[in-house]
Structure 1
Amino acid sequence: MQATHTPTSRAIEADASRINQEHVSSGEIAIGVVIGRTSEFFDFFVYAIASVLVFPTMIFPYVDRLTGTLYSFGLFALAFIARPIGSMIFLAIDHMYGRGTKLTIALFLLGGSTVAVGFLPGHAEIGVYAAFVLAFLRICQGIALGGSWDGLSSLLALNAPQDKRGWYAMIPQLGAPLGLMVAAGLFAYFTSTLSAVDFLDWGWRYPFFVAFAINVVALFARLRIVSTSDYQDMFTSRDLIPAPVLETVRKQGRTIALGAFAPLASFALFHMVTVFPLSWVFLYTESNPERFLVIEVLGAAIGVVAIVASGYLADRIGRRTLLGASAAAIAVFSGFAPQLLAAGELGEVIFMVLGFALLGISFGQSSGVVASEFSGESRYTGAALTSDIAWLVGAGFAPLVALFLSSRFGLVAGGAYLLSGALATLLALWLNKELASRT
């Protein structure tokens, strides 16, 4: 009787590994990381921008514009709630069927969910069910994002020379401003070339279709890396092997918690200079959305430069020191900068330039400062869980909370929210240092 085997991607990966026997350089890994992160952040920003420009009118036309935007930001948060669930599901798939199967399912689910949003009927067609459909697709996006963790960032960090860890740590973070530049540029083009009616009818849908194509490119770029013998050897040596979630939490709970709270300053600022200001300007000023989207593209370019600078600085003064100093600078920034959004076009530009410069320095080193302390058998799963929780706590509800507080109490309340993130980062870094000195 012939034995049957559960089909997995491991045989495919083994074949690909034999084909790709050449050494994969750190530069090739870096390219794969940047492509993967850019595709994820592009999806993120396409949805975020539509949450301001499209969904309040299309999905929630029965409430005022502010309330509709708050509802949209509530749906926006669903992906961050679903993301840890996705990580647990796909870590099990990784363990049973292989990384290739995991990545393929996750990225096609992400791309499929995103492109499905582009076909979404509005309230005028299906009534309140439009909001439920959008919520379901947003949850699917979050589950897919949890599954898209491939360990390439950890692999890049493991390959980093001792004196260039800060430089290698900043490379994955470049995906955020690059994804924003493409997403904001696409929306700026469509809002400037189409009438308001055409944009709300069909123009906004095209960036969601582009997202699927980018995800397919990212999938092949990442599979090309994870199928190589170098990457296989990392797993064999247990440097990047998926460990059981509950066991990882039991053994590394403190590190996961501190790693999740350490980047809150940069994550809070992340939304204060990307999603939130677009909503504020669109709701409370006479500015054209395309003009502010262009400002965001320029700000993102500044963010790219600042992220690269963070790698240089971190290798000279230390990543933890740089993260602490940038958190203190964000605390100062929170005291005056949000009010610039009410100071006209010049104020908006100053806010965005300063904000993206600070964001690049802090966000560039926000991942891995504490998570780098994971032991080998916990590194893969621990890093994934830390990232999920950090995004949930620091970013998932940020646009909703910042807009709600600012609309009720003024922009100074948005600054107070940003200040809370900076204080959380400083506290997490201090606790980590204190606890490390006692062990």
Structure 2
Amino acid sequence: MTTKTAEEDVRTLHAKDGGHEVTPGEIAIGVIVGRTSEFFDFFVYAIASVLVFPKLIFPNVSPLTGTLYSFAIFALAFLARPFGTFVFTAIDRAYGRGAKLTIALFLLGGSTAAIAFVPGYETIGIGAAVLLALFRMGQGFALGGTWDGLSSLLAVHAPDNRRGWWAMLPQLGAPLGLIVASLLFTFLVSTLPAEDFLSWGWRYPFFVAFAINVVALFARLRIVVTEAYSQSFEHRELEPSPILETVRTGWRTIAMGAFAPLASFALFHMVTVFPLSWVFLYTDESPVRFLLIEAVAAVFGIGAIIASGYLADRYGRRTMLGACAVGIAMFSGFAPQLLDAGGVGETIFMILGFILLGLSFGQSSGTLSATFDPRHRYTGSALTSDLAWLFGAGFAPLVALYLSTHFGLLASGAYLLSGALATLVALGLNRELAKNSAK
């Protein structure tokens, strides 16, 4: 019996299943659609945390305190996500990936749509904040079940000289989701009177998010439920394993995998959520203008993500992450001050930040997943992603805004610098462990 090469395996993935062919291109589309829907949810909530919730949910405190409270609730999703992974992994093992995805995406969409019905503080008092926190945790819990393994499937099927290219495809969902969310809020803020926007206009994007989740569900189920997909997962041993067993056998890889992308995940919020809060609170600039700057900068981010695929295949993914961490460290030393330099400074900050983010974030997904043993790769990759988002991004807007307000914008740069250093340390430790295991 001959053994297929990775490239041949990619080509033969289109094995017929009841008349339907599953191709690598379809998997890539499923990944991008799924990630775009998740990030759209993410950015809709993030933008509302700045423009809506401080006034609607926390009107009895200062705008700054209300925004900090909103960012604290924002972080709850990242705390809930690992628990969702634990529960939904059990569902995956018992009932299959299709059942898990259906339940998780309807819970995600339901939690998102429920936020649209949250009344303000003037109606139910502190209960408004309680409901918002509950639904936000529902979003995070559901996200733990949206891990479908498609990105891992792409990675293991990719030819050795094309791994960087395939690795960047799922990451395109982030800037795409941001562009759609920013433009939608731009339209609503610019066309509605402020009273109407705060009363009902802000709720519309959350309904849109639910609709997009339904589309994403069917796009992913179309692939997940096919026999060819299931056989490919079984062939590659990308099946869910017990959480505790995975942690016990692969905790070192999980820890290093969580910290390796810390620089890019910290930068992620430093150029998306935090700048909007700073500009909205401390400048006279309209949020419409800055949302448009974000959308334009995200286009540069898309180009940088695509470029990261070519560069990673030429120089190596870990080399790319290390180089980008150094670049992010340099960026942290001067760039945050540009947010106080008017429209031109803000534009430079956002475009430079998104270019750096695209290059690093494009290769940050599953950098160390290949070091898991095959039996634990699927579950280990999910846990690594949960922890990377929790440590790198979950509290970034809250911490960055607090530090900048009390100690100046350079303090937020110091926070970003700590993420870059954590990435360099994690990559260095992983290299040493790899050398030792080879001896």
TM-score interval, normalised by the smaller of the two chains:
over 0.9
Residue in 1 that maps onto 2:5: none
Tell whether 2:351 aligns with 1:348.
no
Q: CA deviation at 1:234?
A: 2.6
Tell whether 2:106 aligns with 1:108.
yes
Alignment of 1:196-275 (within 5 A): 196-237=194-235, 239-275=237-273
Q: Distance in 1 between matches of 2:237 and 2:306?
A: 27
Q: Distance in 2 between matches of 1:381 and 1:88?
A: 9
Q: CA deviation at 1:238?
A: 5.5
Tell whether 2:123 aligns with 1:125.
yes
Structure 2: gaps (5+ residues): 1-14
Residue in 1 that maps onto 2:280: 282
Q: Which amino acid aligns with 1:364?
A: G
- Residues matched between the structures, number: 423
Residue in 2 that maps onto 1:358: 356
Q: Which amino acid aligns with 2:48?
A: A
Alignment of 1:281-360 (within 5 A): 281-360=279-358
Residue in 1 that maps onto 2:166: 168
Q: Deviations over 1:281-306 (max 9, x none)?
A: 00000000010000000011110000
Q: Deviations over 1:295-340 (max 9, x none)?
A: 0000111100000000010000000001100000000000000000
Q: Deviations over 1:85-138 (max 9, x none)?
A: 000000000111111111000000000000110111010111110000000000
Q: Deviations over 1:203-256 (max 9, x none)?
A: 100000000000000000000111122211133336211000000001100000
Alignment of 1:170-185 (within 5 A): 170-185=168-183
* Residues 18/171 of structure 1: CA separation in 2 closer, same or farther (3 Å cut): closer
Task: Choose the corresponding residue for 1:82, options 61, 73, 80.
Answer: 80
Q: CA deviation at 1:23?
A: 3.6
Residue in 1 that maps onto 2:395: 397
Q: 2:16 touches 2:228 (CA, 8 Å); kept in 1?
A: no
Alignment of 1:185-204 (within 5 A): 185-204=183-202
Q: 2:88 touches 2:145 (CA, 8 Å); kept in 1?
A: yes
Q: Distance in 2 between matches of 1:104 and 1:18?
A: 24
Q: Deviations over 1:153-209 (max 9, x none)?
A: 101112211110000000000000000000011000100111111110111000000
Structure 1: gaps (5+ residues): 1-16
Residue in 1 that maps onto 2:57: 59
Residue in 2 that maps onto 1:9: none
Q: Distance in 2 between matches of 1:98 and 1:220?
A: 16
SS of the aligned residue for 2:338 comes to: helix
Normalising by structure 2, report the TM-score: 0.95
Tell whether 2:424 aligns with 1:434.
no
SS of the aligned residue for 2:401 comes to: helix
Q: Distance in 2 between matches of 1:230 and 1:258?
A: 33
Alignment of 1:23-102 (within 5 A): 23-102=21-100
Residue in 2 that maps onto 1:377: 375
Q: Distance in 2 between matches of 1:438 and 1:140?
A: 42
SS of the aligned residue for 1:242 comes to: coil
* Residues 213/79 of structure 1: CA separation in 2 closer, same or farther (3 Å cut): same
Q: Which amino acid aligns with 1:348?
A: E
SS of the aligned residue for 2:367 comes to: coil
Normalising by structure 1, report the TM-score: 0.95
Q: Which amino acid aligns with 1:331?
A: A
Residue in 2 that maps onto 1:3: none
Q: Distance in 1 between matches of 2:62 and 2:248?
A: 46
Residue in 1 that maps onto 2:136: 138
